[in-house]
């Protein structure tokens, strides 16, 4: 059984499509398309395609998360509604209301930066969010109802859940990019395009703030030497050539090495104080007392830790060492090396932790990226490039 929503949705699109045909071609179709018989035939055709044969349209596959929205497809503009702005732009404008000059600049920016249109694949419709260049084209009446668009790289925003087209919330929209949206032929078939790759565009037709660009066909005319861009903590960018970057890197590493040495000496001094303090307090405590060990008792000591404690507590450590054999001396030296390794590891761990904290606070890391600058030109000839411009 089909729902009333399904019938109402397809009935509306069928009427819209047939009325558009009569308006576009009045001499051939005036009074012949928008008739009850044709509407019922079209509704029956859609029922057979979608319900009986399980053939879904492009937008239905996208909304049900069975296909990606970035595929090339041809959609038709069915409705246009200009909105105030996106939520983030509105929040930014509200934040800058204290400064009148900034507020006026944001007001002008708002007029051109937000518009919502409705696109359809002939079966279902979806709201689409335009970027600034597309909104400008809309305001210039170069993007009108009934026009077909070839879209590539669109983003589905507003919800991560798969929904039916008839149950889609108003926040679920397609975000279009001007650099990946072009006008299609009037007789282009709606839905997914037969070619899965992006269509190449001439450089002259691209917008600086037009977002994602699918494909450009260019020729590299010249390659410039590699530059290095460093982003400073205050947000500014500094560009250097290879020689200046090498000099700056050496200077930075020398300064960084000097900072590490000073920090290590400081932490080592503090660590030695912390390490000696428990031992000094233990020796000063009332429970600690010097002892004298007999030769028979010392011969029974085999573990390095026991021998070390005996030397620590002995009233005459030199006399105790005379009674130790080679095996006991070797065990004592191994235990001392183990204590020294533990001490060094703890010191190094503390140093790395403090050094990492200082790097995050003072931003001691450089943010440098290499940049390759080239000069390019369109591969297409002038006539072909002109055909692929916007409007």
Average pLDDT (110-116) is 58
DSSP string, 331-342: HHHHHHHHHHHH
- Helices 87-95 and 100-113 pack at an angle, to 10 degrees, of 170
pLDDT bucket at 320, cuts 50 / 70 / 90: low
Nearest to 131 by CA among 121, 143, 147, 146: 143
C-alpha distance from residue 47 to each of 40, 54, 65, 67, 94 (Å): 10, 9, 22, 22, 49
Nearest to 264 by CA among 139, 376, 350: 350
pLDDT bucket at 74, cuts 50 / 70 / 90: very high
Q: What is the Cα 297 distance to its own chain's centre?
A: 70
Share of the chain above pLDDT 70, in %: 73
DSSP state of 288: -
Q: Which residue has the higher pLDDT, 210 or 299?
A: 210
Per-residue pLDDT tens for 26-40? 888 888 888 888 888
- Of 94-108, 127-141, 143-157, 349-363, the range with the lowest mean pLDDT is 94-108
This prediction has a pTM of: 0.60
Domains of the chain by range and CATH? Answer: 56-218+380-387 (2.40.50.140), 244-370 (no CATH)
Q: What are phi and psi of 176, to 5 degrees?
A: -100, 145
Say whether pLDDT at 93 is over 50. Answer: no
């Amino acid at each position: 059984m089909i729902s009333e929503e399904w019938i109402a949705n397809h009935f509306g699109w069928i009427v819209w499509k047939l009325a558009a045909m009569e308006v576009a071609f009045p001499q051939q179709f005036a009074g012949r398309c928008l008739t009850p018989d044709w509407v019922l035939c079209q509704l029956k055709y859609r029922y057979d395609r979608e319900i009986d044969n399980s053939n879904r349209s492009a937008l239905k596959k996208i909304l049900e998360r069975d296909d990606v929205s970035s595929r090339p497809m041809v959609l038709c503009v069915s409705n246009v509604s200009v909105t105030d702005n996106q939520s983030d732009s509105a929040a930014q404008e509200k934040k800058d209301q204290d400064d009148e000059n900034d507020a006026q600049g944001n007001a002008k920016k708002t007029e051109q930066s937000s518009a919502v249109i409705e696109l359809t694949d002939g079966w279902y419709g979806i709201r689409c969010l335009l970027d600034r260049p597309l909104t400008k084209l809309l305001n210039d009446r170069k993007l009108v109802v009934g026009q077909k668009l070839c879209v590539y790289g669109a983003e589905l925003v507003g919800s991560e859940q798969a929904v039916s087209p008839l149950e889609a919330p108003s926040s679920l929209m397609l975000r279009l990019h001007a650099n990946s949206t072009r006008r299609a032929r009037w007789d282009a078939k709606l839905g997914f395009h037969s070619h899965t790759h992006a269509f190449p565009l001439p450089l002259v037709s691209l917008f600086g703030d037009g977002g994602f660009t699918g494909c450009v066909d260019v020729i590299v005319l010249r390659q410039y030497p590699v530059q290095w861009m460093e982003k400073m903590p205050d947000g500014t960018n500094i560009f250097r050539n290879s020689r200046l970057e090498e000099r700056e890197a050496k200077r930075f590493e020398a300064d960084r090495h000097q900072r590490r040495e000073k920090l290590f000496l400081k932490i080592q001094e503090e660590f030695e104080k912390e390490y000696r303090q428990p031992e000094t307090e233990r020796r000063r405590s009332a429970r600690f007392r010097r002892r004298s060990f007999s030769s028979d008792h010392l011969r029974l000591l085999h573990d390095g830790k026991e021998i070390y404690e005996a030397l620590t507590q002995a009233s005459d450590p030199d006399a105790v060492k005379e009674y130790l054999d080679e095996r006991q001396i070797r065990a004592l030296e191994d235990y001392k090396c183990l204590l020294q390794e533990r001490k060094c590891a703890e010191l190094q761990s503390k140093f790395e932790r403090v050094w990492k904290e200082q790097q995050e606070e003072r931003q001691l890391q450089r943010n440098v990226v290499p940049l390759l600058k080239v000069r390019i030109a369109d591969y297409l000839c002038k006539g072909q490039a002109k055909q692929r411009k916007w409007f």
